[in-house]
Amino acid sequence: MNRSGWMPLLLLALGAGSCATSTKMSYVWREPSYTPSPANKVLIIGIGDNRRRIDMFESLMAKEFQARGVAAVTGTALPFPAGGSEDQVREAVKSSGADLAITSRLVDSQVNTTETKASAYMPIVGYTGFYGYYSSAYLAASSPDYYSESRKYVVETNVYDVKTQKLVWAGRSQTADPTDTVDAVESFGRTVVSELAKAGMIH
């Protein structure tokens, strides 16, 4: 498992969005034959190419689980380097004492810019001459709400049973218009933790 070679996670230089942050699940799968026992401890592994961002992501996610009474350990705290061998990873995961291993990675990001008609848009009289039109058009284009951006980040999350090493839950989420990195991860974390609780994976 080469953690350094994967796409960067959700922690990017995020700008302010035009709407309140929300995270929704666009896809959820659960192993039908798996009967979960609520995990006492989870291992959180962010997959990306920036260790500082991964560490921040994993730490914030750990807090979301801990707030629900579930112990959490982060991948960056485990004794294996990025790009460790399969045996190193296996031993590190085993030594964590976690019941579930949870991986997350960014699979898509979108930024859309929309041009909107501001309240100071061009009056009809402005069209009768160049100077009047230019002044009105400039005023409209200079209005703070003339252009707006919407941002969306799609994250893939997999949950593995540590004892069997099998995939037992998977989902894709969409986080829209985060105000900053902390806001983005917290919104994502709350949603994923809630989904795992509904699936009986955690308390």
Going from N- to C-terminal start, the domains of the chain cover 3-114+152-198
Pick the CATH number of 3-114+152-198 from 3.90.1310, 2.30.31, 3.40.50, 3.30.70: 3.40.50
Check residue 165 and give left, alpha or beta (phi > 0: left; psi -120 to 50: alpha): left
- Check: CB of residue 56 under 8 Å from CB of residue 74: no
Question: What secondary structure letter does DSSP report for 122?
Answer: P
Q: Give 81-115 pLDDT, tens digit per residue.
A: 666 788 888 888 999 999 999 999 999 988 887 76
Compute the distance between CA of residue 158 and CA of residue 4 in angstroms, rounded to an integer: 18
Is it the case that residue 197 has pLDDT exceeding 70? yes
Is it the case that residue 18 has pLDDT exceeding 80? no
pTM value is 0.75
Q: Give 24-66 pLDDT, tens digit per residue.
A: 999 999 999 999 999 999 999 999 888 899 999 999 999 999 9
